Chains A and B, each alone.
Chain A
């Protein structure tokens, strides 16, 4: 996919680096083509792995540091600091009477029948949640003026405790940030070394628990991230790379290093966001306006709805889920994110049998140590990877490009012992059971997610990437009634490749409660004007005069409801006549989600968002797939065919050998270094002109009958 120099919007040599938990992935796109590399992450000094990886990759591409035009970076450092509780000692300064909001959370148990659950401990313990005397009401009117002495009185305590970061979160500060701003001045003067995060900056939205949680998380990771970003920037500059550096956000946009230092919390989950952007780009290349991206790695699977090449967006995210990836067991963050469902289903997910003699898979993972039983590193519990080996979907000799030699007999022993014996199934049936259950789990998660978004699944194309996805995509598609599946190239470093397809963008939110009956156009116009100016300040230094697109939404609901929906509203100055338009747009969006509207019920608006972004790099559309002959197989393998319920001999194809237009009939396996694609007997496969594998469903059983 060589870039075209003549396009003025092209950005020359572009480098992307994604630091993940285990691997740091690198991708480079230049007029000479795309280069990629994978290197182990160096957790103590992640910048070291980055520098080593870049050096190797530049060597591969024969390019100098100074020749790089754009550097895009994503990292899980912020996420890991929260999961592992390795952030900085942080205090929360809040309104008198509310220091426990952060810990009371929703006053709710996320698991109905388990009386022994633990709630996620807040990032700031109670003794460091301190109060000042002040109070606003919901309109931002001062009920009690800020008592500055009550703030000054806290300084000695904060000093003595060695607090390095302050989260300032006051009630209703989204409506009036004056008290928070004054507190920043007071504490910045008294504690110049301490980082400060204001809730009215990082998350100016109604609902104190979510806002305080987001503010504390930002404060908690800020010193760590600022330190890392500073060191990395210095090392890179020392090598002679003087191009702009962008960080990828959880919302899938690029942002500057300065902003990343201020709002590091916006960088969580950037890796998965990169995957979704890749899927959106693949959808665009192939002209598919409705897709479902399916990213399955070692520990989890992530599923994302993508319409018109734009991944589903939301402003709700939960980090560090500690109970079976269950909703509610993590810390809520209100930041712009690409919305995905994540479930504990990956190659390393462990299978077992419950008291009803049902197979269960995940969310516990064998991780990389000891890993699946077939790794031969002491793992004795059967995993999804073991089941894939037993069913012939993974070639033990060629796993991970042959870097890990698998021991299939260990898989069989583990499967027989844990699943086969108690259920009186033979090894193959038991292995099939594991795969079916994990695929069913993912299918069910996708179905519920689609229902929640008011979307259908069966008219979509599945885009599968990540090491384990191509092994399970065909069966997942069958279960979801999906007729075609695409396995793109470069899936092994998918997130990094995705980074290169991201636009520069920034999203701002403000809560201003308004009922449609009291629609106030001039207030809105002033609000959006301020928001636009703020966003432009962030985005323009990076876009250097390129055209920007503004997108606005309103979080609306029927009066008295508990959940808002994001309604897209036009970008222009409003007049009082627009009340009716807002109402119509709300009803349209509501009907799309819920299938109906409610007449005669008032509508209220809680928050407003504005997103400003440039165009993503242009996409080269894939031409039509030429007619080709039958692909030549590179050998045969024993593979379990669910339709025949037995092992059968199937052809194996080596992906790099396949030419556009060539066709393959399922059941078959297509292998490559990073993964293998299972073509079930329900599908035929072909290679499209840009090298992607396209699975197309043959006649459905019901139709064939």
Chain B
């Protein structure tokens, strides 16, 4: 099919669609064969195809925005170390460098060059979160990246088809679940191979030799569409800052977003310095969540590729918490990074005449629970009889209210994770979840109400203590409302007995005690006293808003189950 063929523009589109299908298939292969809970349940993977210059042409839409362009950039690092000209058929490259990959050691990225008739035509890259990398495990408690586990610099995983057994042996010897981790590395290799196979079929079907023309078309069209979208919002400089609880002291994230004619520049000057604990963020991950937040509001339908991603530039001063330098600890970089879309929305709210959601819970409220010897501080005599377990289930508070709609309750954002059923959790571990319900009045009041958080209450079936590895946020700093909307309720972590609990770190719940987590609600948007009375009454009927809060926050007075019209009018006047 020549470029002059009258149907050429249609074929370019079909090939573009196919390229996206190829990377979706690549990602599906990875998700379905992966072991780590975050891979399977949360789709914490990414997959993409690149031209020989390292420009990403297509990326699968997966559960994590954290790899949005961090994986794209990682390919550039691979090429700096191993130029395409030095690559052979059957080579596979690998790294888990947090600064050259996707932000922490748990993420492995694998790059595979694709050859056709002896010539390289494309590169496939994929990233997956593995179960374990040794070290302290997935906690914020380390003080340097050296404590966080095994560090594999960019190197060959396979050399012309021969697997690097030395590397695999080192991996096996340094992680707690060697079978699963090495299995996941093979999944990464296999999914790139799936992508390559489909790409080669596509090149045959469309009778083209490479991706040059198609790639140019994809990047140009996407960049153009993204620029058009930027031009639709008001140019200028917008500043927003957000307070976080941090690990041992509060953190301020400060962004200045400058919207120009054809790009958006985000600078994080003024942001707090790095933390002593592993909630620091390498710049690649800061870029990912900043780009994601902007994309959601500005050009949600433009596919991710080097063209569309090039219109957002992110800078941050070295060794602020959003541009942590080696060897800062970074294992829980997501606890901080997940908050960046809220910061972007705060800037865009100003640039779009209020067309942005309020702040939400944003950080995940995952229950990482463990029990048994070696996992819990407690009486060793009791622990020897306790069933050893280690489980992770994903849970979320409320999303911020949205322009035109209430926020979604107990829904992950910006992460794309799914929860784990309580019945599954209770089948695989000796725990009981006694309660998992919406937290009344937790959604920030507003013309549009913030989404509700939820309350969960957990205990052990056995007569033994158990432990929680917490990475919670928004306990001291609730999600803010916007445009007159009220804040959501902050999160709470406590035990039934009243023993003090912290937002972050490994902690023990004593025998017979219950862990209670109350997740934050999203912020409200607009004036609560203007919210339609009928909507407030519906929320009262459903038990989402109490009668007291309706009167206090919304000025809607209900007495003996009926609206008190006169009192309501008076309050709302």
Interface, chain A (partner B; CB < 8 A): 96-101, 103-104, 106-109, 112-119, 125-127, 135, 137-138, 143, 171-172, 174, 206-210, 354-359, 423, 425, 429, 432-433, 436-437, 440-441, 444, 447-448, 451-452, 479, 481, 513, 558, 560-563, 593-596, 598-601, 604, 606, 642, 645, 701-702
Contact = CB atoms under 8 A, between A and B. Distances in A.
A429 B10 contact: yes
Interface footprint category on B: 35 or more
Given A108-B417, A562-B40, A444 B35 contact: no
A356 B421 contact: no
A620 B228 CA distance: 62
B572 interface: no
Contact of B229 (A107, A355, A452): A355
- Residue among A106, A125, A604 facing the most chain B CB atoms (10 A cut-off): A106
A-B residue pairs, 5 tightest by C-beta: A97-B435, A444-B21, A562-B40, A126-B542, A207-B421
Contacts of A115: 296-297, 300, 357, 399, 402, 413
Given A100-B438, A137-B426, A437-B17, A113 B454 contact: no
A138 B13 CA distance: 51
A177 to B, nearest CB: 14
B32 A452 contact: yes
B186 interface: yes
Interface string B312-342: 0000000000000000000000000000000
A444 B18 contact: yes
Contacts of B204: 702
Interface of B: 5-7, 9-10, 13-14, 16-18, 21, 24-25, 28-29, 32-33, 35, 37, 40-41, 61-63, 65, 179-180, 183, 186, 190, 194, 198, 201, 204-205, 207, 221-222, 224-225, 228-229, 295-297, 299-302, 357, 394-396, 399, 402, 404-405, 408-413, 416-424, 426-428, 432-438, 454, 457, 461, 541-544
A112 B542 contact: no
25 contacts: A97-B436, A97-B437, A98-B436, A107-B411, A107-B417, A116-B405, A126-B542, A137-B432, A138-B423, A171-B422, A208-B422, A210-B421, A355-B228, A355-B299, A432-B7, A432-B10, A437-B13, A437-B14, A447-B198, A448-B28, A562-B41, A593-B32, A595-B190, A596-B190, A599-B179
Contact of A116 (B13, B402, B436, B542): B402
A161 to B, nearest CB: 11
A510 to B, nearest CB: 14
Given A358-B13, A562-B37, A645-B5, A100 B437 contact: yes
B419 A106 contact: yes
A561 B16 CA distance: 34
Nearest to A565: B32
B28 A444 contact: no
Nearest to B221: A356
- Residue among A100, A137, A594, A599 facing the most chain B CB atoms (10 A cut-off): A100
Given A356-B222, A432-B10, A436-B10, A119 B408 contact: yes
A642 B7 contact: yes
B540 to A, nearest CB: 10
Main SS class of interface, A: loop
B180 A440 contact: no
Contacts of A116: 402, 404-405
A206 B423 contact: yes
B436 A358 contact: no
A185 B452 CA distance: 36
Contacts of B404: 116
- Residue among A109, A171, A604 facing the most chain B CB atoms (10 A cut-off): A109
Contacts of A98: 422, 435-437
Contacts of A358: 13, 16-17, 221
B222 A513 contact: no
A125 B37 contact: no
B457 A97 contact: yes
A143 B426 contact: no
A99 B413 contact: no
Contact of A513 (B16, B427, B457): B427
Contacts of A143: 432
A645 B32 contact: no
